[in-house]
Amino acid sequence: MMRTRPLKVALLGCGVVGSEVARIMTTHADDLTARVGAPVELAGVAVRRPDRVREGIAPELITTDATALVKRGDIDVVVEVIGGIEPARGLITTAFEHGASVVSANKALLAQDGAALHAVAEQHDKDLYYEAAVAGAIPLIRPLRESLAGDKINRVMGIVNGTTNFILDAMDSTGAGYQEALDEATALGYAEADPTADVEGFDAAAKAAILAGIAFHTRVRLDDVYREGMTEVTAADFASAKEMGCTIKLLAICERAGDGASVTARVHPAMIPLSHPLASVRGAYNAVFVESDAAGQLMFYGPGAGGSPTASAVLGDLVAVCRNRLSGTTGPGESAYAALPVSPMGDVVTRYHISLDVADKPGVLAQVATVFAEHGVSIDTVRQSGKDGEASLVVVTHRASDAALTGTVEALRKLDTVRGVASIMRVEGE
Protein backbone atom coordinates (compact mmCIF):
# COMPACT_ATOMS: atom_id res chain seq x y z
CA MET A 1 0.00 0.00 0.00
CA MET A 2 1.28 3.47 -0.92
CA ARG A 3 1.97 5.70 2.07
CA THR A 4 0.33 9.10 1.74
CA ARG A 5 2.45 11.08 4.22
CA PRO A 6 5.43 12.40 2.28
CA LEU A 7 9.05 11.77 3.12
CA LYS A 8 10.58 15.19 3.69
CA VAL A 9 13.94 16.13 2.19
CA ALA A 10 16.20 19.03 3.19
CA LEU A 11 18.63 20.17 0.50
CA LEU A 12 21.88 21.80 1.65
CA GLY A 13 23.31 23.75 -1.28
CA CYS A 14 21.66 24.85 -4.49
CA GLY A 15 24.51 25.33 -6.92
CA VAL A 16 25.09 23.37 -10.12
CA VAL A 17 24.34 20.00 -8.52
CA GLY A 18 21.80 21.10 -5.91
CA SER A 19 19.63 22.99 -8.39
CA GLU A 20 19.57 19.93 -10.64
CA VAL A 21 18.60 17.70 -7.71
CA ALA A 22 15.70 20.06 -6.92
CA ARG A 23 14.64 20.15 -10.58
CA ILE A 24 14.56 16.36 -10.90
CA MET A 25 12.68 15.99 -7.61
CA THR A 26 10.04 18.36 -8.97
CA THR A 27 9.73 17.19 -12.56
CA HIS A 28 9.95 13.48 -11.71
CA ALA A 29 7.86 13.64 -8.55
CA ASP A 30 5.33 11.04 -9.68
CA ASP A 31 8.02 8.58 -10.75
CA LEU A 32 9.90 9.05 -7.48
CA THR A 33 6.70 8.44 -5.54
CA ALA A 34 6.09 5.20 -7.41
CA ARG A 35 9.66 4.01 -6.97
CA VAL A 36 9.93 4.89 -3.29
CA GLY A 37 6.40 3.92 -2.22
CA ALA A 38 5.57 7.34 -0.79
CA PRO A 39 5.68 10.96 -1.94
CA VAL A 40 9.10 12.62 -1.66
CA GLU A 41 8.77 16.28 -0.75
CA LEU A 42 11.39 19.01 -0.87
CA ALA A 43 10.88 20.60 2.54
CA GLY A 44 13.63 23.24 2.55
CA VAL A 45 16.70 24.46 0.71
CA ALA A 46 19.63 26.03 2.57
CA VAL A 47 21.67 28.55 0.56
CA ARG A 48 24.20 31.32 1.16
CA ARG A 49 22.65 33.84 -1.26
CA PRO A 50 18.86 33.94 -0.72
CA ASP A 51 18.26 36.74 -3.23
CA ARG A 52 19.39 34.72 -6.23
CA VAL A 53 16.55 33.57 -8.50
CA ARG A 54 16.15 29.79 -8.38
CA GLU A 55 13.76 28.67 -11.06
CA GLY A 56 11.33 25.96 -10.03
CA ILE A 57 11.94 26.32 -6.27
CA ALA A 58 9.26 27.99 -4.20
CA PRO A 59 10.71 31.07 -2.42
CA GLU A 60 9.29 29.97 0.92
CA LEU A 61 11.56 26.89 0.84
CA ILE A 62 14.72 28.98 0.74
CA THR A 63 16.61 29.61 3.99
CA THR A 64 20.06 30.74 5.02
CA ASP A 65 19.83 28.90 8.34
CA ALA A 66 21.02 25.41 7.44
CA THR A 67 21.36 24.38 11.07
CA ALA A 68 17.74 25.20 11.86
CA LEU A 69 16.66 23.29 8.76
CA VAL A 70 18.40 20.05 9.73
CA LYS A 71 17.21 20.42 13.35
CA ARG A 72 13.52 20.61 12.46
CA GLY A 73 12.85 17.04 13.53
CA ASP A 74 10.43 16.25 10.70
CA ILE A 75 13.17 15.88 8.04
CA ASP A 76 13.63 12.32 6.82
CA VAL A 77 16.65 12.81 4.56
CA VAL A 78 19.25 15.56 4.31
CA VAL A 79 20.98 15.92 0.94
CA GLU A 80 24.34 17.66 1.37
CA VAL A 81 25.90 19.14 -1.78
CA ILE A 82 27.68 22.20 -0.37
CA GLY A 83 31.12 20.55 -0.28
CA GLY A 84 34.10 21.35 1.91
CA ILE A 85 34.76 20.27 5.48
CA GLU A 86 32.83 22.82 7.52
CA PRO A 87 30.00 23.58 7.93
CA ALA A 88 29.18 20.33 6.09
CA ARG A 89 30.59 18.06 8.82
CA GLY A 90 28.65 19.78 11.59
CA LEU A 91 25.44 19.85 9.58
CA ILE A 92 25.63 16.15 8.73
CA THR A 93 26.28 15.23 12.37
CA THR A 94 23.39 17.41 13.48
CA ALA A 95 21.13 15.78 10.89
CA PHE A 96 21.85 12.32 12.31
CA GLU A 97 21.26 13.56 15.85
CA HIS A 98 17.85 14.95 14.86
CA GLY A 99 16.59 11.83 13.13
CA ALA A 100 17.53 12.28 9.47
CA SER A 101 19.54 10.04 7.17
CA VAL A 102 22.07 11.71 4.87
CA VAL A 103 22.96 11.61 1.19
CA SER A 104 26.21 13.42 0.41
CA ALA A 105 28.41 14.19 -2.59
CA ASN A 106 31.23 15.50 -0.40
CA LYS A 107 34.38 13.57 -1.37
CA ALA A 108 36.77 15.78 0.62
CA LEU A 109 34.84 15.34 3.87
CA LEU A 110 34.31 11.61 3.42
CA ALA A 111 38.00 11.06 2.62
CA GLN A 112 39.02 12.94 5.76
CA ASP A 113 36.29 12.02 8.26
CA GLY A 114 34.29 9.18 6.74
CA ALA A 115 34.90 6.85 9.68
CA ALA A 116 33.65 9.39 12.23
CA LEU A 117 30.55 10.18 10.16
CA HIS A 118 29.75 6.48 9.76
CA ALA A 119 30.09 6.06 13.52
CA VAL A 120 27.56 8.84 14.19
CA ALA A 121 25.19 7.43 11.58
CA GLU A 122 25.39 3.97 13.19
CA GLN A 123 24.93 5.43 16.66
CA HIS A 124 21.63 6.99 15.57
CA ASP A 125 20.62 4.07 13.31
CA LYS A 126 20.64 6.21 10.16
CA ASP A 127 21.94 5.89 6.61
CA LEU A 128 24.96 7.63 5.11
CA TYR A 129 25.03 7.23 1.31
CA TYR A 130 27.52 8.94 -1.02
CA GLU A 131 27.49 7.46 -4.51
CA ALA A 132 27.91 10.94 -6.00
CA ALA A 133 31.20 11.52 -4.17
CA VAL A 134 33.17 9.44 -6.68
CA ALA A 135 32.92 9.40 -10.49
CA GLY A 136 29.70 11.37 -10.91
CA ALA A 137 26.92 9.36 -12.51
CA ILE A 138 28.88 6.11 -12.68
CA PRO A 139 27.42 3.46 -10.33
CA LEU A 140 30.57 2.47 -8.48
CA ILE A 141 30.34 2.72 -4.70
CA ARG A 142 27.21 0.60 -4.42
CA PRO A 143 28.60 -2.18 -6.66
CA LEU A 144 31.80 -2.21 -4.60
CA ARG A 145 30.11 -2.39 -1.20
CA GLU A 146 27.05 -4.43 -2.18
CA SER A 147 27.31 -6.29 -5.50
CA LEU A 148 30.93 -7.34 -4.85
CA ALA A 149 30.52 -7.77 -1.08
CA GLY A 150 31.09 -11.51 -1.38
CA ASP A 151 34.19 -11.18 -3.55
CA LYS A 152 37.81 -10.24 -2.80
CA ILE A 153 38.85 -7.07 -4.59
CA ASN A 154 42.54 -6.86 -5.37
CA ARG A 155 42.85 -3.68 -7.39
CA VAL A 156 40.87 -0.59 -8.30
CA MET A 157 42.47 1.59 -10.96
CA GLY A 158 40.78 4.44 -12.72
CA ILE A 159 40.38 7.87 -14.21
CA VAL A 160 38.29 9.71 -11.64
CA ASN A 161 38.76 13.34 -12.67
CA GLY A 162 37.26 14.61 -15.91
CA THR A 163 39.26 17.84 -16.07
CA THR A 164 42.64 16.11 -16.03
CA ASN A 165 41.51 13.49 -18.51
CA PHE A 166 40.32 16.19 -20.91
CA ILE A 167 43.69 17.97 -20.68
CA LEU A 168 45.78 14.82 -21.15
CA ASP A 169 43.55 13.61 -23.97
CA ALA A 170 43.99 16.97 -25.75
CA MET A 171 47.77 16.75 -25.32
CA ASP A 172 47.74 13.21 -26.72
CA SER A 173 45.49 13.86 -29.71
CA THR A 174 46.78 17.30 -30.78
CA GLY A 175 50.37 17.40 -29.57
CA ALA A 176 49.58 20.47 -27.47
CA GLY A 177 51.59 21.41 -24.41
CA TYR A 178 50.13 21.33 -20.92
CA GLN A 179 49.32 25.05 -20.67
CA GLU A 180 47.68 25.14 -24.09
CA ALA A 181 45.49 22.14 -23.23
CA LEU A 182 44.61 23.67 -19.85
CA ASP A 183 43.60 26.94 -21.53
CA GLU A 184 41.29 25.01 -23.85
CA ALA A 185 39.75 23.11 -20.93
CA THR A 186 39.15 26.40 -19.09
CA ALA A 187 37.58 28.05 -22.15
CA LEU A 188 35.20 25.10 -22.57
CA GLY A 189 34.22 25.08 -18.89
CA TYR A 190 35.93 21.79 -18.03
CA ALA A 191 38.50 23.45 -15.75
CA GLU A 192 37.90 25.87 -12.89
CA ALA A 193 39.53 29.30 -12.83
CA ASP A 194 41.82 27.77 -10.18
CA PRO A 195 42.38 24.18 -11.38
CA THR A 196 44.78 23.24 -8.57
CA ALA A 197 42.52 20.66 -6.90
CA ASP A 198 42.20 18.82 -10.21
CA VAL A 199 45.61 19.09 -11.87
CA GLU A 200 47.59 18.53 -8.66
CA GLY A 201 45.59 15.38 -7.90
CA PHE A 202 43.84 16.48 -4.69
CA ASP A 203 40.38 15.68 -6.07
CA ALA A 204 41.44 12.25 -7.31
CA ALA A 205 43.26 11.49 -4.05
CA ALA A 206 40.09 12.06 -2.02
CA LYS A 207 38.23 9.68 -4.30
CA ALA A 208 41.03 7.12 -4.06
CA ALA A 209 40.79 7.17 -0.26
CA ILE A 210 37.05 6.45 -0.44
CA LEU A 211 37.45 3.68 -3.01
CA ALA A 212 40.30 1.98 -1.15
CA GLY A 213 38.37 2.00 2.11
CA ILE A 214 35.36 0.33 0.54
CA ALA A 215 37.29 -2.11 -1.65
CA PHE A 216 39.60 -3.39 1.07
CA HIS A 217 37.35 -3.06 4.16
CA THR A 218 40.01 -0.85 5.69
CA ARG A 219 40.01 2.74 6.87
CA VAL A 220 42.01 4.77 4.37
CA ARG A 221 42.21 8.53 4.92
CA LEU A 222 43.27 11.24 2.52
CA ASP A 223 46.64 11.51 4.28
CA ASP A 224 47.30 7.85 3.43
CA VAL A 225 47.12 8.50 -0.32
CA TYR A 226 50.29 9.29 -2.25
CA ARG A 227 49.59 12.20 -4.58
CA GLU A 228 51.46 13.52 -7.59
CA GLY A 229 50.03 16.08 -10.00
CA MET A 230 50.24 16.20 -13.79
CA THR A 231 51.53 19.72 -14.39
CA GLU A 232 54.99 18.43 -15.34
CA VAL A 233 53.73 16.12 -18.10
CA THR A 234 55.08 17.33 -21.45
CA ALA A 235 54.51 16.76 -25.14
CA ALA A 236 57.85 14.91 -25.12
CA ASP A 237 56.44 12.47 -22.55
CA PHE A 238 53.54 11.73 -24.89
CA ALA A 239 55.96 11.21 -27.77
CA SER A 240 57.87 8.68 -25.67
CA ALA A 241 54.63 7.00 -24.63
CA LYS A 242 53.57 6.62 -28.26
CA GLU A 243 56.89 4.99 -29.11
CA MET A 244 56.08 2.42 -26.43
CA GLY A 245 52.51 1.90 -27.66
CA CYS A 246 51.14 3.78 -24.64
CA THR A 247 49.29 6.92 -23.66
CA ILE A 248 49.34 8.92 -20.40
CA LYS A 249 46.52 9.18 -17.87
CA LEU A 250 46.23 10.57 -14.35
CA LEU A 251 45.31 7.42 -12.45
CA ALA A 252 43.94 6.67 -9.01
CA ILE A 253 45.28 3.25 -8.05
CA CYS A 254 44.23 1.29 -4.97
CA GLU A 255 45.70 -2.19 -4.61
CA ARG A 256 46.21 -5.03 -2.22
CA ALA A 257 49.78 -6.23 -1.70
CA GLY A 258 50.69 -9.55 -3.25
CA ASP A 259 50.69 -11.26 0.16
CA GLY A 260 47.37 -9.62 1.06
CA ALA A 261 48.82 -8.15 4.24
CA SER A 262 48.64 -4.46 3.32
CA VAL A 263 47.16 -2.01 0.82
CA THR A 264 48.32 1.09 -1.03
CA ALA A 265 46.49 4.07 -2.50
CA ARG A 266 48.08 6.53 -4.91
CA VAL A 267 47.37 9.14 -7.56
CA HIS A 268 49.87 10.06 -10.27
CA PRO A 269 50.32 10.29 -14.05
CA ALA A 270 51.21 6.99 -15.66
CA MET A 271 51.82 5.46 -19.05
CA ILE A 272 49.33 2.73 -19.90
CA PRO A 273 49.30 0.48 -22.98
CA LEU A 274 46.88 1.45 -25.74
CA SER A 275 45.45 -2.06 -25.40
CA HIS A 276 44.22 -1.34 -21.87
CA PRO A 277 40.53 -0.32 -21.63
CA LEU A 278 41.39 2.86 -19.73
CA ALA A 279 43.56 4.10 -22.61
CA SER A 280 40.48 4.68 -24.78
CA VAL A 281 38.67 6.90 -22.24
CA ARG A 282 38.47 10.27 -23.97
CA GLY A 283 37.54 13.83 -23.11
CA ALA A 284 36.09 14.55 -19.69
CA TYR A 285 34.81 11.01 -19.12
CA ASN A 286 35.71 8.81 -16.14
CA ALA A 287 36.30 5.09 -15.96
CA VAL A 288 37.28 2.71 -13.18
CA PHE A 289 38.80 -0.74 -13.71
CA VAL A 290 38.20 -3.27 -10.91
CA GLU A 291 40.02 -6.60 -10.51
CA SER A 292 38.68 -9.22 -8.11
CA ASP A 293 39.14 -12.92 -7.41
CA ALA A 294 35.77 -14.24 -8.55
CA ALA A 295 34.34 -11.60 -10.89
CA GLY A 296 37.65 -11.02 -12.65
CA GLN A 297 37.98 -7.72 -14.48
CA LEU A 298 35.16 -5.17 -14.48
CA MET A 299 35.06 -1.67 -15.92
CA PHE A 300 32.70 1.16 -14.98
CA TYR A 301 32.51 4.04 -17.49
CA GLY A 302 30.57 7.25 -17.89
CA PRO A 303 30.39 11.02 -17.26
CA GLY A 304 32.22 11.78 -14.05
CA ALA A 305 31.13 15.33 -13.30
CA GLY A 306 28.55 18.00 -14.06
CA GLY A 307 25.18 18.92 -12.62
CA SER A 308 22.99 16.30 -14.24
CA PRO A 309 25.34 13.28 -13.92
CA THR A 310 26.10 14.02 -10.27
CA ALA A 311 22.43 14.70 -9.51
CA SER A 312 21.60 11.31 -11.03
CA ALA A 313 23.81 9.63 -8.44
CA VAL A 314 22.35 11.75 -5.64
CA LEU A 315 18.79 10.83 -6.64
CA GLY A 316 19.69 7.15 -6.80
CA ASP A 317 20.91 7.34 -3.21
CA LEU A 318 17.86 9.36 -2.21
CA VAL A 319 15.51 6.68 -3.52
CA ALA A 320 17.46 3.94 -1.70
CA VAL A 321 17.52 5.86 1.60
CA CYS A 322 13.81 6.73 1.36
CA ARG A 323 12.97 3.07 0.78
CA ASN A 324 15.00 2.19 3.86
CA ARG A 325 13.10 4.79 5.89
CA LEU A 326 9.78 3.27 4.84
CA SER A 327 10.86 -0.25 5.73
CA GLY A 328 12.48 0.79 9.01
CA THR A 329 15.91 -0.48 8.00
CA THR A 330 19.28 0.95 7.07
CA GLY A 331 21.64 0.03 4.27
CA PRO A 332 25.26 -1.08 4.60
CA GLY A 333 27.45 1.14 6.74
CA GLU A 334 31.20 1.24 7.09
CA SER A 335 33.02 -2.08 6.67
CA ALA A 336 36.51 -1.75 8.13
CA TYR A 337 36.90 -5.16 9.72
CA ALA A 338 40.06 -6.04 7.74
CA ALA A 339 41.98 -3.08 9.23
CA LEU A 340 44.90 -3.62 6.86
CA PRO A 341 47.90 -1.31 7.18
CA VAL A 342 48.42 1.21 4.39
CA SER A 343 51.93 0.83 3.03
CA PRO A 344 54.04 3.86 2.06
CA MET A 345 54.72 4.71 -1.57
CA GLY A 346 58.25 3.37 -1.26
CA ASP A 347 56.86 -0.17 -1.09
CA VAL A 348 54.88 0.14 -4.33
CA VAL A 349 56.26 -2.03 -7.12
CA THR A 350 55.76 -1.08 -10.78
CA ARG A 351 57.64 -0.37 -14.01
CA TYR A 352 59.28 2.98 -14.78
CA HIS A 353 60.10 5.10 -17.80
CA ILE A 354 63.09 7.38 -17.13
CA SER A 355 64.38 9.98 -19.58
CA LEU A 356 67.93 11.25 -18.97
CA ASP A 357 69.95 14.03 -20.55
CA VAL A 358 73.51 12.71 -20.82
CA ALA A 359 76.86 13.44 -22.40
CA ASP A 360 77.23 11.89 -25.84
CA LYS A 361 80.45 9.98 -25.35
CA PRO A 362 81.58 6.36 -24.92
CA GLY A 363 80.90 4.61 -21.62
CA VAL A 364 77.82 6.61 -20.56
CA LEU A 365 75.40 3.76 -21.07
CA ALA A 366 77.63 1.40 -19.10
CA GLN A 367 77.81 3.87 -16.21
CA VAL A 368 74.05 4.29 -16.14
CA ALA A 369 73.43 0.54 -16.35
CA THR A 370 75.82 -0.02 -13.45
CA VAL A 371 73.88 2.40 -11.24
CA PHE A 372 70.62 0.59 -12.00
CA ALA A 373 72.21 -2.76 -11.21
CA GLU A 374 73.71 -1.52 -7.94
CA HIS A 375 70.24 -0.52 -6.74
CA GLY A 376 68.60 -3.77 -7.79
CA VAL A 377 66.56 -2.24 -10.63
CA SER A 378 66.49 -4.41 -13.74
CA ILE A 379 66.47 -2.67 -17.13
CA ASP A 380 63.99 -3.83 -19.76
CA THR A 381 64.87 -1.56 -22.72
CA VAL A 382 67.21 1.35 -23.46
CA ARG A 383 66.98 3.90 -26.27
CA GLN A 384 69.74 6.43 -26.94
CA SER A 385 69.91 9.33 -29.37
CA GLY A 386 71.99 12.48 -29.63
CA LYS A 387 74.56 14.63 -31.38
CA ASP A 388 77.00 17.50 -30.79
CA GLY A 389 78.07 16.15 -27.43
CA GLU A 390 74.58 15.91 -25.91
CA ALA A 391 72.30 12.88 -25.87
CA SER A 392 69.01 11.58 -24.56
CA LEU A 393 68.84 8.22 -22.86
CA VAL A 394 65.45 6.58 -22.25
CA VAL A 395 65.38 3.63 -19.85
CA VAL A 396 62.37 1.42 -19.23
CA THR A 397 62.70 -0.85 -16.22
CA HIS A 398 61.22 -4.13 -15.16
CA ARG A 399 59.11 -3.99 -12.00
CA ALA A 400 60.87 -2.35 -9.07
CA SER A 401 59.93 -0.68 -5.82
CA ASP A 402 59.52 3.06 -5.66
CA ALA A 403 62.20 3.21 -2.97
CA ALA A 404 64.70 1.38 -5.19
CA LEU A 405 63.92 3.65 -8.13
CA THR A 406 64.30 6.76 -5.95
CA GLY A 407 67.74 5.59 -4.82
CA THR A 408 68.70 4.89 -8.41
CA VAL A 409 67.73 8.36 -9.58
CA GLU A 410 69.59 10.03 -6.72
CA ALA A 411 72.75 8.12 -7.71
CA LEU A 412 72.28 8.96 -11.40
CA ARG A 413 72.15 12.68 -10.60
CA LYS A 414 75.65 12.39 -9.09
CA LEU A 415 77.21 11.08 -12.31
CA ASP A 416 79.24 13.68 -14.19
CA THR A 417 77.94 12.30 -17.47
CA VAL A 418 74.26 12.78 -16.52
CA ARG A 419 73.22 16.36 -17.23
CA GLY A 420 69.75 15.95 -15.78
CA VAL A 421 66.68 13.75 -15.31
CA ALA A 422 64.17 15.00 -17.88
CA SER A 423 61.23 12.91 -16.65
CA ILE A 424 60.24 9.90 -14.60
CA MET A 425 56.92 8.19 -15.19
CA ARG A 426 55.41 4.97 -13.95
CA VAL A 427 54.12 2.38 -16.40
CA GLU A 428 50.86 0.75 -15.27
CA GLY A 429 48.21 -1.60 -16.60
CA GLU A 430 50.46 -4.35 -17.89
Residues with active-site annotation: 207
| 254, β-bridge pairs | 156, 265
CA atoms in the 13 A half-sphere facing the CB of 247? 22
Question: CA neighbours within 13 Å on the CB side: how many for 114?
Answer: 32
- Inter-helix orientation angle 364-374/402-413, to 10°: 140
Kind of pairing, strands 77-80 and 7-12? parallel
**For residue 322, what are the contacts with CB-CB under 8 A and spacing of at least 6?**
7, 36, 38, 40, 76, 77
* Three-class DSSP category at 134: coil
| Cα first-last separation, the chain | 54
Sign, CA dihedral 355-361-366-368, equals: negative
SS3 7: strand
- The CA distance from 223 to 237, in Å, is 29
Count of C-beta atoms within a 10 Å radius of residue 193:
5
Q: Residue 396: what residue type?
A: V
Do 136 and 286 contact (CB within 8 A), yes or no? yes
Largest CA distance in the chain: 86
Minimal CA–CA distance to 5: which of 52, 38, 30, 32? 38
Cα 420 from chain centroid (whole Å): 33
Q: What does DSSP assign to residue 6? A: P
Q: Are 293 and 151 in contact (CB under 8 A)?
A: yes
Calpha distance 184→162 (Å, rounded): 14
DSSP character at residue 425:
E
Q: Which residues pair with 352 in a beta bridge?
A: 426
**CB-count burial class (<10 Å; 0-12, 13-18, 19+) for 316:** middle
Residue 395: half-sphere exposure toward Cβ, Cα within 13 Å: 27
